[in-house]
A and B are shown apart, each in its own frame.
Chain A
Amino acid sequence: MKEILKIENLKYKYPSYPNLDFPQLLNGINLTINTGDFIVILGKPETGKSTLLKIILSLIPRYTKGILSGKIEYKGIPVANYNPYDLIEKIGAVFQNPDEQIFTTSCDTEIAFALESLGLNREEMIRRVNKSFEVLKIEHLRNRNPATLSGGEKKKLLMACLYAANPQIWLLDEIIDELDPGSALSIVQRLIAEKRTVILFSSKMLNIFKDISCNFFILKNGILLAADKMKNSDFNMLMADEGLVIDNKHEALTPVQRLNPERMVLIENLKYKYPGNIDFNLHIDNFHIEKGEIVSLAGKNGSGKSTLGKLIAGLKEKESGLLSVKGKNNLSCAYLFQNPDYQIFLPTVKDELSFGLKLTDIEIEDTISKFKLPNRDVPPSLMSYGARKRLQAAVYYLMDRDIYILDEADAGLSLKDFDMLINILYKKAKSILIISHNLDLCTRYSNRVYLIDSGKIVKEIETDLQNTLDTYFMTESSNL
């Protein structure tokens, strides 16, 4: 196998601003990639994974400034010698947030965009676009506007863009986060079977990685630690220390008293029609959440999970059917958006926590300490992504909501932080609904799991959650 990418003693520090000095982020990265290597770089949020990806793509320090030293070579030539637009067929990437990379108004045009830049003839472009749709199993999205796709569908579309451009190295940033397990496994297996050179960045050690043959690295304190250079037990311990994996069962989870159940949410024959031209509607026959339960909602990308969550939270209007939420009407639910910045808009942590509430200094300090937030006067916009997510949860914690809906709340959080959040929230909430593609999370915390597909509940799982879910999604994967 030939060496294709070499990184030597790479160091990087973001530029400092008045009253804000960033620490050294990358502190001597060494990595050699050969053609056909499949590498997984694990690291808790904010350790520099996305920054490393953008340095390899010659985007940093081009766009961000900062101090960069060390060497990155693609086939012996420094990547800094290339402009990003020269790298289409050399190094391609899917960013963590798919909305950052989509800029056309139909899926086929999106895939063809890079091919047009390469000046390919139309017949070749059509062939590649068709093949990409076929491989990613998204033919049905061909004429859809990407803005109307779910998060996972957008990631599949961006994977299709890479497939069409056919770069030598694929950089995939948290690609698994929003993909359903069946699709994720199918895509990863295909990349391995086709011997593609892949660097996959992830903030969690997922089950899917255990089933494939790849090299693991952990990014810690700005350096890469290779799994094959340490004992298995040391590697597992390091992962646990970094919050990349948690083995013990969730301590807060207790069996629900079913003798006299109190239904917090009851849905019967609920219908919701999507606005616009989307040929997809939600129809939920039966769904309920009892007091004290943690229920998960799992399903493929674009199956209607978030829509159901938003209907329960009162953020969408039903078309017909019964949707009963016990409590104080629209104030009974807290909906934690995947993107915390939607809910944070005030100048300091203290302002955010006390917005609309009369809190004592002791209550504020107690919440800050409980959610491991920086001090009360720090502007939230300068806090790390993980800290902003913890602040978002802290805000709802103080608002005393009965039902907490966590929509992909684990994205961008270490498992340790997610575990901490769910422990704190469960002590306050009457019920929790987890919306996630991460089957480990669903089974770890939930009493029951609902499986949703094409806008309908297809299965309610109460026992043997892990095996039933694994079987369901692996069957789906084999159908892909």
Chain B
Amino acid sequence: MITSTFIQGNSFLHKADPRLKTSILLCTVILFFLPLSITAMFIFFTGLVLISIYSLGFFKTLLPFKMVLPIIIFVIILTPPFFKDGASILIIKNIIILTSEGLLHTIRLILRVTGITISFYIFFSTTSINNFILALEWFKLPYKAALVITIALRYIPSMVIIYNNIQDAHKLRSSNTQKIYFWKKINNMFPTLVSVLIHSIKSIPILSMALELRGIGSATKRSQFNIIKSNKMILQITISGVILLLVILVALLI
């Protein structure tokens, strides 16, 4: 639920200009895809975690780790078998399970996935959806595209709410109080998903009606209610630019 991840606060990240945060988010994602050394990646990752703890608190910083845990488990299981170079670290019954190369790649992938997740988490926890949309519009994203994103962000949590309601409703009809196993749970999801799908399809024409009634489609040029309030943009850009440049230089040198 992206819309509910915004956490009210007064940290420097909350106050920072959303256009700047959007640019830095993009740079951060690119950095995690650069062929950096493990050390540089680790320092960079640690820096992000510290920023998150400072801005959002320790317990809230744990949330993205929880979200990404299943992916980390898959990475740990599936990555090592593809790398046979380097010194053998774990051998079971003459079969090489883990090599130094496999270990490095696994750590690199975990840092990359977790780093990108935590970057987005920090961004959406400190940036309201309205400000995010305004930043996208400032980057010349057409209004209709921005509207589609807003509606998507509005309807994803709605669908989650509908899904939970339907699941609750189905739970109340169940006559089985026994522990439900994984495959049974997966099987039980189908009626819920069918109901959510029917709800969603039914809502399409009604949403179109509501949009038209509020003026979408009209030739009149839209004005703007929300504006980005930032009178220290130049200062913020300069400081952030210098910090980002230093980070990249250090990362490439290590």
Query: Which residues of chain A have a CB within 8 Å of any CB of chain B?
Result: 54, 57, 59, 63-64, 83-88, 92-93, 95, 99-106, 108-109, 112-122, 125-126, 129, 145-148, 161, 275-277, 310, 313, 315, 329-331, 333-335, 337, 339, 341-346, 355-357, 381, 395, 399
Complex Cα–Cα for A223 and B64 (A): 58
Complex Cα–Cα for A242 and B64 (A): 56
Can you name the residue of chain A whose Cβ is closest to the Cβ of B174?
A: A356
**Residue B212 contacts which of A84, A129, A334 (CB distance < 8 angstroms)?**
A84
Can you name the residue of chain A whose Cβ is closest to the Cβ of B202?
A: A341
Q: Is the CB of A313 within 8 A of B214?
A: no
7 shortest A-B CB distances, which residue pairs? A117-B215, A112-B225, A84-B212, A342-B169, A343-B169, A85-B218, A105-B129
Complex Cα–Cα for A122 and B221 (A): 13
Q: Is the CB of A101 within 8 A of B210?
A: yes
Known: A83-B212, A117-B218. A109 touches B225 (CB 8 A): yes
Complex Cα–Cα for A291 and B136 (A): 59
Complex Cα–Cα for A17 and B140 (A): 45
Q: Is the CB of A343 within 8 A of B170?
A: yes
Q: Is the CB of B158 within 8 A of A147?
A: yes
A sample of 30 cross-chain residue pairs with beta-carbon separation below 8 angstroms, ordered by A number, consists of: A63-B209, A83-B212, A85-B213, A85-B214, A85-B215, A85-B217, A95-B210, A100-B203, A103-B150, A105-B154, A106-B130, A109-B130, A109-B225, A109-B226, A112-B225, A116-B223, A116-B225, A119-B220, A126-B225, A145-B157, A147-B157, A277-B6, A277-B7, A315-B168, A334-B172, A337-B165, A342-B165, A343-B172, A345-B166, A345-B191
Closest CB in chain A relative to B94 CB, distance in Å: 50
Q: Is the CB of B177 within 8 A of A116?
A: no
Q: Is the CB of B169 within 8 A of A337?
A: yes
Q: Is the CB of A115 within 8 A of B177?
A: no
Complex Cα–Cα for A112 and B224 (A): 9
Closest CB in chain B relative to A407 CB, distance in Å: 11
Closest CB in chain A relative to B177 CB, distance in Å: 6
Q: Is B175 an interface residue (CB 8 A)?
A: yes
Closest CB in chain B relative to A322 CB, distance in Å: 22
Q: Is the CB of A103 within 8 A of B210?
A: yes
Complex Cα–Cα for A399 and B222 (A): 54
Complex Cα–Cα for A122 and B208 (A): 26
Q: A118-B220, A315-B172, A335-B172 are in contact. List 15 more A-B contacts (CB 8 A).
A: A63-B205, A85-B213, A85-B216, A99-B158, A105-B128, A116-B223, A117-B218, A119-B222, A125-B223, A129-B225, A277-B7, A329-B177, A330-B171, A345-B192, A356-B173
Contacts of B224 in A (CB 8 A): 116, 122
Known: A84-B213, A343-B173. A106 touches B128 (CB 8 A): yes
Q: Is the CB of A341 within 8 A of B195?
A: yes
**Residue A357 contacts which of B129, B175, B192 (CB distance < 8 angstroms)?**
B175
Complex Cα–Cα for A57 and B211 (A): 13
Q: Is B199 an interface residue (CB 8 A)?
A: yes
Q: Is B240 an interface residue (CB 8 A)?
A: no
Q: Is the CB of A115 within 8 A of B205?
A: no
Contacts of B203 in A (CB 8 A): 100
Contacts of B172 in A (CB 8 A): 313, 315, 333-335, 343
Q: Is the CB of B223 within 8 A of A103?
A: no
Complex Cα–Cα for A391 and B218 (A): 43
Complex Cα–Cα for A377 and B247 (A): 68
Complex Cα–Cα for A381 and B195 (A): 11
**Residue A355 contacts which of B3, B173, B192, B212 (CB distance < 8 angstroms)?**
B173
Can you name the residue of chain A whose Cβ is closest to the Cβ of B221?
A: A119
**Residue A356 contacts which of B128, B175, B226 (CB distance < 8 angstroms)?**
B175
Q: Is B151 an interface residue (CB 8 A)?
A: yes
Can you name the residue of chain B whose Cβ is closest to the Cβ of A100?
A: B206
**Using a CB-CB cutoff of 8 Å, which residues 95-144 of chain B contact chain A?**
128-130
Can you name the residue of chain A whose Cβ is closest to the Cβ of B216?
A: A85
Contacts of A344 in B (CB 8 A): 195
Contacts of A117 in B (CB 8 A): 214-216, 218, 220, 222
Complex Cα–Cα for A112 and B130 (A): 13
